[in-house]
Amino acid sequence: MTETTPTTTKKTLAVVSIILGAVSVLLCWILPILWVVVAIVGVVLGFLSRSREPQARTLALVGIILSFIGVALNIGSMILGAILVAQYMQR
């Protein structure tokens, strides 16, 4: 009798990176200082996944891209908010 071990593909970091990137993109207009940190964590987890989980390279790439988009949108949201506050204060 031979025992075969089931092959499991570990994709945890890649999936978490995608989730964090998507959340930071969707909620970038509400409290962007928090979501930019979440997006940066998503980028870091995406890169960690690319090195530690070779079977999840595509998922990790999607997480990295979403997280970078989240960083950009959150920074844009902060700049837009600062401009709006500055215009409001001048009136």
Confidence of residue 1 (pLDDT cuts 50, 70, 90): low
Residue 16 pLDDT > 70, yes or no? yes
Give the pLDDT score at 9: 74
What pLDDT band is residue 91 in, cutting at 50, 70 and 90?
confident
Give mean pLDDT, residues 24-33. 92
Task: Please give the pLDDT value at position 10.
Answer: 85
User: How many whole angstroms separate alpha carbon 24 and alpha carbon 63?
Assistant: 11
Q: Is the pLDDT of residue 4 over 80?
A: no
**Residues 39, 19: Cα–Cα separation, whole Å:** 10
| 8 Å CB contact between 50 and 58 | no
